[in-house]
Amino acid sequence: MNPFHACATCIHFHAERTGKEKNMKYHCIRLGYETQPNYQFNCWTPKEHVKKLMEKRKKERGL
């Protein structure tokens, strides 16, 4: 299991404020779904800074 695998860390994740109350809406622009930051889909493509962090953690563990 990858602790970084979540919609919020994907390149296709989009967040925007909507309405008078400035509520947040989360959307996967690749799939066209409304989503949440902690959801997971099999099409996950990590953002560049997440890839770097994953590599760093991998090296720290000596893998």
Q: How far apart are CA 29 and CA 8, in angstroms?
A: 12
Q: What integer pLDDT is reported at residue 22 of this predicted model?
A: 86
Per-residue pLDDT at 37 exceeds 80: yes
Q: What integer pLDDT is reported at residue 21 of this predicted model?
A: 84
What are the pLDDT digits (tens) for 5-36? 999 999 999 999 988 888 999 999 999 999 99
Query: How many Å separate Cα 60 from the centre of its chain?
Result: 23
The answer to whether residues 23 and 15 touch, using CB atoms and an 8 Å cutoff, is no
**Burial of residue 58 (number of CB atoms within 10 Å: 0-12, 13-18, 19+):** exposed
